[in-house]
Chains A and B, each alone.
Chain A
Amino acid sequence: MSSTLLSGNEAVARGAWEAGASVGIGYPGTPSTQALEVFARMEGVYAEWAPNEKVALEVAAGASMGGARAFVTMKHVGMNVAADPLFTLAYTGVGAGLVVFVADDPGMHSSQNEQDSRNWGPFARVPVLEPADSSEAREFTRAAFEMSEHFDIPVIVRSTTRLSHSKGVVEVTRDRISTEPREYLKDIGKWVMMPAMARARRRSLDERLRQMSEFVEDSQLNRIEMRDSTLGIVTSGVCYQYVREALPDASVFKLGISFPLPEEALAAFAAQVDRLVVVEEADAYLASHLRSLGLDPEPVGLQPVGLPAAGELSPGIIARALGAEAPATRDSVSGLPPRPPLMCPGCPHRGAYNALRKVKAIVTGDIGCYTLGALAPLASMDSCVCMGASVGMAHGMRLAGQGSDRPVAAVIGDSTFAHSGVTGLIDLAYNGSDALVCILDNRITAMTGHQQNPVSGMTLQGRPTTEIDLEALCRSVGVRRVRTVDPHDLAAAEQAVREEVAADELSVIIFRAPCALLIKEKEQPYAVDEESCTACGLCIRLGCPAISTGEDGKARIDAMICVGCGDCVQVCRFSAIELTGPACDIGGV
């Protein structure tokens, strides 16, 4: 045993490795991503990025059926994609242990919605474990593999941003449970879920759930901490830490397993305290289950201060909801400008949006760095719903009759296209849509921190591999107009967009240039010639963080930030942007 500082994600990876998981599959998504990245670097494991979460869980199902312990990672919305296999895998059960790590994002630091993955427990009838710090993240992941094999069921380990991205001290061991694959025994009653077999497995599932409900009543993963009995808190996950901080004297029922719930133990706890309060983020999951058990937690959410129904909690929010005074603070400074995230200097997505803006396109968008194109000054994206939605939504906009005065285009990144955009494109080709689909191929999954993907030619563990031939793929599904342009060639990009929106059939433009952060050698930075600059503002409208307006309205380029991509040179009508002298060798900080 030795102790190190690990994030929740790192600790989950560690736990999976120690538990003998030998296969890891996932799809990136903040805040879950590092769990698989760290696992992939450990000794004696195979790990891969799948194109999406459904495939990831299916690969894991096969590995488990074939006798290898399998570890799957994704963010909360990924579970929607993987839900189809998940529900039926509860019926089939597992071969070797199968654990799905899913990270929720209350407060939506990096997500399009808030979802509470604990709900998959009762919905899919699979156990859900909720660690509360890095140390438990390791321990619970190990326990999840044991439970998975013992009860013949996939197990969910649920995290949230504040667990995944917080570091704490963890005791780790070099010992690893044997990774020898179990023998595969053909068993169609267990693995072929056609109605007759599925009905039998449904009965088996109910029996397995009954056994699990017994197990959780005295599992070490749940913990009762009796202190002052006037106030009893039921909580789980990182909220437990906030409760300890905010209400150190309160008695606490800390749930480590949020499905199935230890009903008898909870009722006994409720009987021992004067006031029963539930503290949880995202959904009122525990509160409504307690109510269905006839236990009656106080509705903290309805009090004058109350716990918020949405967003994150904190020790202070909890303390105040239960009556504490807010601590004295300093006054905030009013009138501060917000600091939204922005496209990097040299980002290739800028050129694509510049072209779409020229034709005043209605742009159905998607999720990735290019989602930032919705913000000023590019302001060229009209929607963002879920991964892959851009393609189908462009078709739907056309069906609603849009597109006669302003063309309709979809914008989707390379990773997102491989994830679930390609099925949309098949729909458009099959049903004869005439929309324009723009694939922004920056050769990487950028938003989540540069993961390899089926378009990038490299695997998670650094093996060179085939890359999707996007042009051939689009043609093969029936798109006749497919072309590729360099988004940094603004004139060519604009011409391609003009021609393809004018075409009366489906077309695909692939905007191909590597993510600016993949380019290690910066080009010489540009500067503005003040004499020639007329303060027209065209370069400013590119939204490059290196370009600002001076008090005279003229443009300025910050040489420390400029990477020399040259996009602004091309939009300047007065040749006022030129190369600087020898680049100073001060990089950004």
Chain B
Amino acid sequence: MTLPTVTVMLAGVGGQGTILAADVLAKTAVAAGLDVKLSEVHGMAQRGGSVDTVVRFGHSVASPITDHGCADHLVAFEMIEAARQLPFVKPGGRLLVNSRTIDPLPVLIGDLAPPTGVEEALVAEGAIFIDAEELACEAGSPKSANIVLLGALSTGLEFPLDLWMEVIGGRVPPATVEFNLRAFELGRRACGEGGACLV
């Protein structure tokens, strides 16, 4: 069996939970019997800087990192980061974007103007927008926005639902399992459960 390697990039801002989401995705792929590489960067960037994590899975995966034009999926936790990482997405790739903006410090302090045309550019690239925080609140806590986005991603991947549920159940703090599973479900529904996205 040779499966083409699938590359997923998760992009966000330090503190948004991209690393946990990437970990759940990687563990799900392992549970499905695939070879997996996950690449993240710790340290300075985590203090509110841009954070991007790459998960690659398939029959046999060599490189943990990817290049411009090579990601099959981009899951962006924030719109400016979605725009920043856009060049990584393959022309036919899938672009899931949390419809939220976190202004970087130079914008907050008025040194730089807020960027214009970000949403329009993402729309033009066929982005699918999801309000992950709102769905997460509906599920029980805004902290599970990362799991909402995973739910949305899952409709474009071929892992069985119970595998995802099992991995999430084993990975998030026990007290939060219930609302995280609900968050995953809401993310899936927002993204058409295997079909076309509804947003």
Contact = CB atoms under 8 A, between A and B. Distances in A.
Contacts of B91: 328-330
B39 to A, nearest CB: 4
A162, A545, A586 — which one has the most chain B CB atoms within 10 A of its CB? A545
Interface residues on B, range: 35 or more
Interface string A325-345: 011111111011111111110
Contacts of A401: none
Contacts, number: 207
A338, A344, A377, A588 — which one has the most chain B CB atoms within 10 A of its CB? A338
Nearest to B110: A549
A555 to B, nearest CB: 10
A339 B13 contact: yes
Interface stretch (A90-98, A237-245, A566-574): A237-245
A369 B44 CA distance: 8
A169 B112 CA distance: 43
B117 A333 contact: yes
B67 A331 contact: no
Contact of B47 (A167, A315, A342, A376): A342
Given A30-B44, A372-B47, A336 B80 contact: yes
A540 B13 contact: no
B106 A244 contact: no
Interface string B139-156: 000110110000000000
Interface string A512-544: 000000000000000000000000010011010
Contacts of B41: 31, 109-110, 161, 165
Interface string B25-47: 01100100001111111111111
Contacts of B14: 341
B8 to A, nearest CB: 14
Nearest to B50: A339
B83 interface: yes
A376 B89 CA distance: 32
Given A5-B36, A167-B37, A110 B44 contact: yes
A20 B115 CA distance: 55
Interface residues of A, number: 62
Interface in B53-72: 61-70
B104 interface: yes
Contacts of A340: 49, 104-106
A560 to B, nearest CB: 8
A560 B46 CA distance: 18
Given A244-B62, A316-B67, A540-B110, A589 B118 contact: no
Contacts of B117: 333, 335
B42 A316 contact: no
Interface in A239-271: 241-242, 244-245
Contact of B87 (A110, A330, A337, A588): A330
A587 interface: yes
A589 B64 contact: no
15 contacts: A31-B41, A162-B65, A166-B37, A169-B35, A169-B36, A315-B65, A315-B67, A327-B67, A337-B112, A338-B104, A342-B47, A372-B47, A375-B105, A543-B109, A588-B15
Interface of A: 3, 5, 30-31, 33, 109-110, 133, 161-162, 165-169, 238, 241-242, 244-245, 314-317, 326-333, 335-344, 369, 372, 375-377, 447-449, 537, 540-541, 543, 545, 547-549, 586-589
Interface of B: 13-17, 23, 26-27, 30, 35-50, 61-70, 80-81, 83-84, 86-91, 103-112, 114-118, 121, 125, 133, 136-137, 142-143, 145-146
Given A162-B39, A337-B80, 6 more contacts: A31-B42, A337-B115, A339-B50, A341-B49, A540-B110, A589-B136
